[in-house]
Amino acid sequence: MTSSEKKTWATPLFITVVIASSFLLLYYSSNYHSEQPGQQTRKAVDYGGRPVQSIAKPGQVILPKNEKIVVGRNGLVFKGVEKREVILDLYLLEMDPEQAYRKRFSKKEAKNEMILGGQRYRLLSVNDRYLSLKLIPPPTAL
């Protein structure tokens, strides 16, 4: 074999290996990112770009003071406790998402049951920093 035949054979082989390895690298990197749990790796942020500090459990909502939390079709903002009354701002997101409706209710009244924006809640606990509500499912008709 002459040296020109060796060069013509090696060049296509080198180009094929480079192209194949770049496709393999692209495949494995795209497959790695698609298998990552997207929602768990990203932090929830509110509209101001701050991380949301709420704790969500099934059937329960914990509202930090002055943080807006969306529950179903409503937005809730816990404003605090004054004279044994819980103060809460209710945002009806389907009607007017910018308008807050101030709700006041006693702790004793809220321990039984209350309705905010069509959703039924029961007060679990409240202090100066957090409000904990249990979501009550609507009654089922037989």
Q: What is the pLDDT of residues 82-110, one digit of tens each?
A: 888 889 999 988 888 888 889 898 888 87
3-state secondary structure of 131: strand
Could you tell me if 85 and 102 are in contact, meaning their C-beta atoms sit under 8 angstroms apart? no
Q: With 0.85 as the threshold, say if the pTM is over it.
A: no
Looking at residue 24, its amino acid is L
Could you tell me if 78 and 65 are in contact, meaning their C-beta atoms sit under 8 angstroms apart? yes
pLDDT at 74: 86
pLDDT at 139: 75
Nearest to 131 by CA among 77, 75, 70, 82: 77
Higher pLDDT, 58 or 62: 62
Range with the poorest average pLDDT among 29-43, 48-62, 73-87, 105-119: 29-43
d(CA 114, CA 85): 13
**Domain ranges, ordered by start, for the chain:** 3-38, 55-136
d(CA 96, CA 116): 15
